[in-house]
Amino acid sequence: MNGSLIDILRAARAAVIVKDGGGYCVYANRRQEELRGCGRGDLINKHITELVDADPLLVEREFERFKRDGTWIGQFRTHNVIGQVLRFRACNFTHREWDGNALYVSFAYPLKERSTFDKEGAKQLVPSSLSAENICMAQFCVDGYSEEEMSILLGTTREAVGRLVDGFTERIGAASRTEACVRALKASLVA
């Protein structure tokens, strides 16, 4: 991961975990560590099945779906080091390194205590009119990322990001990026 990407991940309002293709944590920002009550670096090399309180087979299946589709929006439950339950809404996206290798990034946002979950645990949340990629773009826009920063997050060009943002704006039926963000917030599509 290059320095520009790490700078963005460190400053993110989200609790960030970056995983390799095998599902092992290669980076966690301080917010993620603090929410889980971990020390610096304690999450590195943890497998996704250790990071989510759900059936490991379900977690593996959803991770494979995420890798195949390139994005995953959903909610999951986990716990901190003293066993307290933590609930998150997550925007997961694929970052492409300069050499073509993929990293799998999770921007997780804490949910309130009253949030409900299915018994299975992780749950994908995407309305039928929008794709997970559209909602990821909405979350980036709501979080205030510029197209240049989004291109670093995704490991792609600004032009490609511009097309993705335009696609989200069009799919949500808005005339501008600002209107699209307002609609996404009002519809509770983003955190």
Within this chain, do residues 116 and 89 fall inside the same structural domain, yes or no?
yes
- Give 1-64 as a DSSP string: --HHHHHHHHH-SSEEEEE-TTSBEEEE-HHHHHHHTPPTTTTTT-BHHHHSSS-HHHHHHHHH
pTM: 0.87
Residue with tokens 């559209």: 134
Residue 112 confidence (pLDDT) above 80: no
Residue 122, amino acid: A
Mean pLDDT of the chain: 89
Predicted pLDDT at 124: 43
Q: Please give the pLDDT value at position 99.
A: 92
| Per-residue pLDDT at 120 | 43
Same structural domain, 111 and 169? no
State the residue range of the domain holding 33: 3-124
Judged against a pLDDT cut of 60, whether residue 126 lies above it is answered with: no
179: how many CB neighbours lie within 10 A of its CB? 13
Residue 128: pLDDT band (50, 70, 90) is low
pLDDT over threshold 90, residue 118? no
Number of domains in the chain: 2
- Is 22 part of a structural domain of the chain? yes
- Residue 109 phi/psi, 5-degree rounding, is -120, 125
Give the other-Cβ count within 10 Å of 2's Cβ. 10
Q: What is the CATH number of the domain that holds 38?
A: 3.30.450.20
pLDDT for the residue 113: 60
